[in-house]
Amino acid sequence: MPISEFYPFESPEAISLSLIPLRVRYKLDCAGIRLRLSQWQALTHDEKRQLLELPVTTAQEQASYRGELSHMVSRQLGAAPAEATMTGEEAWRVTQAWPEVVLRQCEAQRLSLPPVARWARLIEADRHALFVLARSNHSQAEFVTAMAVLCGG
């Protein structure tokens, strides 16, 4: 799946930027930032668009993203967002096995799990999206659709 701003299975609230879109969640995790929904909602629409569009591919881009986001949140709320420690070995980055949370969600939704090679072929952002949706308590329908769209099953 080519990189685009939104996944076809995202809620209208994420597409309207009322909720944090999956692409931004991925960028936050790559940049090592924990952003609360209240902090996201305090940002302007233009700031949210900027956070959706800024790249986080390199360490320099990640540092820039952290700085830009910290500036935005501090200006709106008076305090920077919390940092998150990333090891590089997060379950969504490991391609040799399905994350436990995805296995459990597939079982709960009675979905057949594709071969792990399908997981390994996904780009990192797509693995992250499945991981985030699998661990959510309120997005089971999005998870089922995401599995179909991203893994064909």
In degrees and rounded to multiples of 5, residue 19 shows phi and psi of: -110, 165
pLDDT level of residue 1 (50, 70, 90 thresholds): very low
Q: Say what the pLDDT of residue 74 is.
A: 93
Average pLDDT of the chain is: 92
Q: What is the pLDDT of residue 49?
A: 95
**Contact assessment for residue 30 and residue 132, using Cβ atoms and an 8 Å cutoff:** no
User: Which residue has tokens 């935005």?
Assistant: 72
Residue 22, C-beta contacts closer than 8 angstroms, at least 6 positions apart: 6, 7, 10, 14, 125, 128, 129, 132, 133
Share above pLDDT 90 across residues of the chain, in percent, rounded to a whole number: 83
pLDDT at residue 153, rounded to an integer: 56
**Helix crossing, 22-31 with 45-53: angle to 10°?**
70
User: Cα-flanking dihedrals φ and ψ of residue 25, to 5°?
Assistant: -55, -40
pTM of this structure: 0.91
pLDDT in tens, 40-99: 999 999 999 999 999 999 999 999 999 999 999 999 888 889 998 888 889 999 999 999
Give the pLDDT confidence of 113-133 residue by residue, as tens digits.
999 999 999 999 999 999 999
The model's confidence at residue 26, banded by pLDDT at 50, 70 and 90, is very high
pLDDT band of 152, cuts 50, 70, 90 = confident
Non-local (6+) Cβ contacts of 74 within 8 A are 80
